[in-house]
Amino acid sequence: MAQVTTQRSVLCEGVGAFCCRLIEYCSRSGTATCFPAESLLFDRPLAASLAEARLDTICFSIDDFGGTADAVRRKRVAFVKVRRVLENVLTGRGGANDRRSRYARPYSILQAVEIKGPEDGVAVLSSEKIDLLYNEVRRGGWTKGFSLLASSLPFDEVLLLDNVVNGGFVGWKLLLDLSGIRRALIVETLLGNITESFALHCGEVHTLHFDQRILECVVERLKEKKIENVTHGRLDGGKDLPFVDNSFDLIVVHDMGVVFQYLDGGAAHKEKLKWFLGETRRLLAESGTLYLSFGNRLGLYNLFHRTRRGSGVATPGSERELFSMYEVKRVLRESGLNSFKFYAANPSIEEMRQIRRLCSPMDFSWREKGGSRGVKAAIKDYFKSSGICAQAFVVTASTSGGAGFLEQIIDYSGLGEKGCKIKDFKLGNVPIAILESDENKVRDGGFVVRLPLDKERIGLCKRNADTLSLLAEMKWEGVGISRPWKKTYNGLTFFVEDKIAGVSARDNLGASFADCFTNIADYLIDMHLRTARRATLTADSFVRLFEPYKSFLESNLDKADGGRLGSFERFVRTRLVGAELPKVLQHGDLSLENVLVDPETASVNGIIDWEFSEHEGLPFIDCLQLIASKRRVQQRKTLGDIFATVILPLRFDALEKNFVERYVEALGIDRNLLAPLAIISWLHHIVRKVRFQFLWSHPEWKENGIAGPFRVVRSLYL
């Protein structure tokens, strides 16, 4: 990639996420950053933000189309057309019909960096990152190699990379019935996410990849996880897929847009679509299922189609979309696939929070329009109006059709009679589907279906269900308890529970937030009093508690700090061992997001997501986690900063201090134990809550989340 040497510049590379905040930062600091070229053209707030930044230079690159000479030629043609579109939009020459021209500003320089060959292209990430990942994985294996890559990137890039690796398999893809799948074919467009998930549920999995480097990384990933029922191959564009007819019960194509970027052969997109769907139909067993996923309809490949007539002006809506849903349905029918369903999924709540953090220039006036709920609604509306929702087809080869996976859950669980509908999907430690129904038989709150993808997450779901069952036995009057059902359908485990009405306490940050926080504090004190059992913490119990924390610190502290680990452990041990403490029902992840309240009265309706709970946990941990969540929302600081400045030094504001005093008095906790319990709360967060992520390996996270708070403990207590 060519280096940008001008004082202020933006590097547009590949297909990525919205980065308005990065543009804002670039404008202030004069440093280079990256964002997707197509978003510049079709995302109004992004175009407005870029225009307001008044940058001197704009650079961009084009994704790889394959390794053939024709692919390189087509990429260069696309490069010229995208540059023309950028020039027209950014200099205000897009014409009267261009809806983004009013955001344009004149630029003194418009520099485009041409990609000279396919070796500079990308398949999932940028070629530079893929090269780094490939080299590190070859030297140290998947886990160590990925950690080394993460530690070499800016933290904002690691956040996005972590989402690519851990969040690629979203909940609504489990609309597929995975029970009884003997052979599955996966056209993989990520870093093994899809393959790994299906390999845990299907008998035999075959994958096709676009990039040899990514393929080798995925092989290492599966080998480390001891997944042995997967064979791999390269997708050779334009050639028939190398399998016999009717050989797969399930075929999954994760992103059709990426697939068609890499299908080479010179055919028009209609012929490519017809050929590819015909091939999948040939390979599909008579009672099999074909799953097709479509990304952003305004993606980069669609951009080339829109601008190829030479005008160089992007005019969304003026031309028929490439691979429109109508066209795909028509070709599916022509291929003999008549029974299919179409699903459109909005971004998950977590994705919206990511977007809100990145897109501060978006003028949603969220403080005046319903707080966080207002910005979520605005982003949802924005996504819908922009047509950027994810789209998927679930196709059955037989003409008789068949119920989807979630429909089978509904029937099997007795939750309703075909009246339930899927309202929403959310990502987290476990993907979940929200079900609602128009039938009177179904409660107003609806149902939550938890869809664990592996044994570890099945364990998390089971812990959540066990804790909900315990709460239900308490017969807590006036409090919503989500009653769980554990179900197994042909070997596939899922968990169903009542959906508690209300909104997240995070969304209730208006004038009544003090009352809302006080109500949550009362709720927590009441719950811990109901479950408290006084006991003395023995030396053996302390070793079992502290050993995982000690091992984590030994692996992540430098020599200077690691040398003080002995005195650190002695401080905590001498104060806790032999102390009499109330053992309580510990939530383990008590944030405002996990507390549901009545939006009118601010009263607590219930607490959700008990995956990290302990039935005989330490007191005060949930109390401090709730305070940390409050500070994070109000002050927009990282949890590392909050632990270092608020939790570990026990430095609370008036509202928090009142909560702590009432909690300590009600539970009968010795105030001399608050400091070591605060340390345990910090250790609980950094060790248990980040184990599903790669962020812990990044130097910035280590400094902010581990080393900084550790030095605070040293200065205060050692």
Helix (H) or strand (E) holding 485: strand 484-489
Tell me how far apart the alpha carbons of residues 191 and 220 are, in angstroms, rounded to a whole number.
11
24-39 pLDDT, tens digit each: 444 444 443 344 444 4
pLDDT category at 411 given cuts 50, 70, 90 is: low
Average pLDDT score over residue span 692-697: 66
pLDDT at 587 over 90: yes
The residue to which tokens 């000690």 are assigned: 550
**pLDDT score recorded for residue 519:** 93
Helix (H) or strand (E) holding 175: none
Q: Give me the residues paired with residue 99 across strands.
A: none
Q: Which residue has the higher pLDDT, 309 or 254?
A: 254
Q: CATH says 503-717 is which class?
A: alpha beta
Residue 139 burial by Cβ neighbours in a 10 Å radius (0-12, 13-18, 19+): exposed
Tell me how far apart the alpha carbons of residues 678 and 133 are, in angstroms, rounded to a whole number.
38
539-565 pLDDT, tens digit each: 999 999 999 899 888 888 888 787 888
> Which of 374-378, 401-405, 539-543, 576-580 has the lowest average pLDDT?
374-378
**pLDDT score recorded for residue 398:** 56
Tell me how far apart the alpha carbons of residues 687 and 547 are, in angstroms, rounded to a whole number.
11
User: DSSP state, 648?
Assistant: T
Cβ-proximal residues to 214 (8 Å cutoff; 6+ apart), any chain: 123, 124, 130, 134, 191
Helix, strand or coil for residue 584?
Answer: strand
Return the CATH number of the domain spanning residue range 168-406: 3.40.50.150
187: left (phi over 0), alpha (psi -120 to 50) or beta: beta
Residue 406 burial by Cβ neighbours in a 10 Å radius (0-12, 13-18, 19+): buried
246-303 pLDDT, tens digit each: 999 888 887 776 676 566 444 556 777 788 888 888 898 887 888 887 654 433 333 3
Phi, psi values for residue 105, rounded to 5°: -135, 145
| % pLDDT > 90, the chain | 23
**pLDDT score recorded for residue 520:** 94
**pLDDT score recorded for residue 424:** 66
Tell me how far apart the alpha carbons of residues 718 and 716 are, in angstroms, rounded to a whole number.
6
pLDDT category at 97 given cuts 50, 70, 90 is: very low
Tell me how far apart the alpha carbons of residues 604 and 503 are, in angstroms, rounded to a whole number.
10
Q: What is the chain's length?
A: 718
Helix (H) or strand (E) holding 425: strand 420-426
User: pLDDT averaged over the chain?
Assistant: 70
pLDDT category at 112 given cuts 50, 70, 90 is: very low
Phi, psi values for residue 408, rounded to 5°: -65, -35
128-138 pLDDT, tens digit each: 667 788 888 88
**pLDDT score recorded for residue 354:** 40
**Residue 348 · residue 427 · CB < 8 Å:** yes
Extract the tokens encoding 44: 């109004």
CATH 3.40.50 is the classification of domain 415-498: no
Q: Which of 50-59, 108-117, 245-254, 554-563 has the highest mean pLDDT?
A: 245-254
The residue to which tokens 């053992």 are assigned: 583
- CA 363: distance to chain centroid? 24
Helix, strand or coil for residue 691?
Answer: coil
pLDDT category at 637 given cuts 50, 70, 90 is: confident
| % pLDDT > 70, the chain | 55
Q: Which residue has the higher pLDDT, 109 or 717?
A: 717
pLDDT category at 582 given cuts 50, 70, 90 is: very high
Q: Which residue has the higher pLDDT, 648 or 253?
A: 648
Q: In 180-252, which residue ranges form alpha helices assigned H by DSSP?
A: 193-199, 212-224
41-50 pLDDT, tens digit each: 334 444 444 4
**pLDDT score recorded for residue 419:** 54
pLDDT category at 114 given cuts 50, 70, 90 is: very low
What's the one-letter identity of residue 300?
A: L
Residues of the chain by 3-state class (helix, strand, coil), percent to 5: 50, 15, 35
**pLDDT score recorded for residue 285:** 85
Average pLDDT score over residue span 364-375: 37
pLDDT category at 325 given cuts 50, 70, 90 is: low
pLDDT at 60 over 80: no
- Closest residue by Cα to residue 279 from 309, 247, 311, 255: 247
137-196 pLDDT, tens digit each: 888 888 888 888 878 877 766 765 665 666 555 555 666 777 678 899 998 877 888 888
**pLDDT score recorded for residue 586:** 95
CA distances 371 to 368, 506, 625, Å, are 7, 9, 22
**Residue 394 · residue 341 · CB < 8 Å:** yes
Domains of the chain: which residue ranges?
9-124, 168-406, 415-498, 503-717
- Closest residue by Cα to residue 377 from 354, 346, 423: 346
Average pLDDT score over residue span 701-713: 90
**pLDDT score recorded for residue 284:** 86
